[in-house]
Amino acid sequence: MYYSILLFAFLGWTEPLGQTRIVNVGQTCLSYPVDSSSLHNHLKQIAVNQQVKVLDLQGAALDSQGWEQVARITGLEELQLVGTRITDEDLKTFRNLKRLLVLDLRGTQISDRGVEELAKFPKLQYVDLRGTRVSHAGVRMLQTKRPNIFVVTDRNSHSLLVSKN
């Protein structure tokens, strides 16, 4: 939760978390109600604007069609999916997100199978896997295939405040 709070503070966001979602479009911030029945339509509109860099879908109840809409936002550099129903299979639809640097999957059902997909993201630098079904072996596999990705897990989250100098 700290990462999302920092993101919102950085963008000057003042709404309580859990009531709206934010999209960073260049210098503009747009918000949408969580319970919006037209989330798919919003995602279609956002996909047209390839300047979108940050998308927070925390808690959004998307189906496979919704994840396909997210995958069309190819300019994404940061994607927050905390507490969503994303599956290992849904991660495959994100193959076009070649610019993705940060992926937050806390509290999802992602498993070792999904981690295999994460290794294919060419620019991914940070992934948060706390509260997922990813095993220690899955994390090791990801770090072996992509040693430059910083992986946060339930096991190492206590050491995040330590500098890597």
Asked whether the beta carbons of 69 and 52 are under 8 A apart, the reply is no
User: Which residue type, as a one-letter code, is found at position 80?
Assistant: Q
CATH class of 2-156: alpha beta
Q: What is the pLDDT of residues 41-63, one digit of tens each?
A: 777 777 776 678 888 888 888 88
Q: What is the pLDDT of residues 77-133, one digit of tens each?
A: 999 999 999 999 999 999 999 999 999 999 999 999 999 999 999 999 999 999 999
Q: Where are the domains of the chain?
A: 2-156
Check pLDDT > 50 for residue 16. no
Helix count (H) and strand count (E) of the chain? Answer: 6, 7
Asked whether the beta carbons of 152 and 160 are under 8 A apart, the reply is yes
